[in-house]
Amino acid sequence: MYKVFVNDKPLFLTDEIHKETDFQLFLLEGIDFAQLISKMFSNKVKKAYLYHPDEKEMLRTIKDTIPVQKAGGGLVYNKKGQVLFIFRNGKWDLPKGGIEKGEKIEYTALREVEEETGVGKLSIIRKLQKTYHVFRRNGRYKLKVTHWFEMKSDFDGPLHPQLEEGIEKVAWLNPEDIEQALLNSYENIKLLFEEQLT
């Protein structure tokens, strides 16, 4: 099952039929995807399931319907086991950013972490899951597909928030601070930490 977040509300792409309770179920055939996204953005639909026997086919259909923006980001640990967070738009987030032409996604993730936080000496440990979220820019919807990587760094210098990207704060957070930060974060970031715990 894929989870696509629309304005931080979940749209599940599923190959199983669920009996409706607190959500709406739509079939891929005949769905006006733009209309569904619009309803989720305006809070008319809080949670939805989109059904098709082939989940990958659903994802392809969505990618064909709205423009895709590819991004890379990092879940970065230091020697003390702390995780690198940024604070932007009133929420805690992880460093990430858009891919540049001809760039490998791993390089994008490393570059963006360093640009947004000032943290260097980064190395990738492993690839994590991709996250999907729909956002609106200049009146148009886009699907952001973020490729996440677990990273480590021995960097112990000062942190530098990339102010021109709207980042107000950069911090290394301890496990108990992370729990608190996730209460004021995005659903796709929480998803990454759920994966880390399993």
Can you count the helices (H) and strands (E) in the chain?
5, 11
CA 112 to chain centre: 14
Query: Among the listed ranges 26-35, 51-60, 75-84, 143-152, which one has the minimum average pLDDT value?
Result: 26-35
Least confident interval from 40-49, 92-101, 108-117: 40-49
Cβ–Cβ under 8 Å, residues 170 and 161: yes
pLDDT value, residue 33: 83
Assess whether 30 and 91 both reside in one domain. no
1-10, 68-77, 85-94: least confidently modelled range: 1-10
What is the structure's pLDDT at 197?
Answer: 64
Which pLDDT value is given to residue 95? 98
Q: Specify whether 84 is located in the same domain as 129.
A: yes
User: What is the total count of domains within the chain?
Assistant: 2
Q: Are residues 59 and 76 in the same domain?
A: no
DSSP assignment, residue 185?
B
C-alpha to C-alpha distance for 92 and 155, rounded to whole angstroms: 21
Q: What is the pLDDT of residues 140-182, one digit of tens each?
A: 999 999 999 999 999 999 999 999 999 999 999 999 999 999 9
Q: Which residue has the higher pLDDT, 27 or 131?
A: 131
User: Same domain, yes or no, for 56 and 94?
Assistant: no
Do 187 and 113 reside in the same domain of the chain?
yes
Q: What is the CATH number of the domain that holds 100?
A: 3.90.79.10
pLDDT of residue 22: 66
Burial class (CB in 10 A: 0-12, 13-18, 19+), 103: middle
Model confidence pLDDT, tens digit, residues 45-71: 999 988 899 999 999 989 998 999 999
Q: Which domain holds residue 17?
A: 2-65
Q: Report the length, in residues, of the chain.
A: 198
The DSSP bridge partners found for residue 49 are 12, 25
pLDDT higher than 80, residue 19: no
Residues 95 and 10 in one domain: no
Q: How far is Cα 79 from Cα 88, in angstroms, rounded to an integer?
A: 25
Q: Answer yes or no: do 50 and 127 share one domain.
A: no
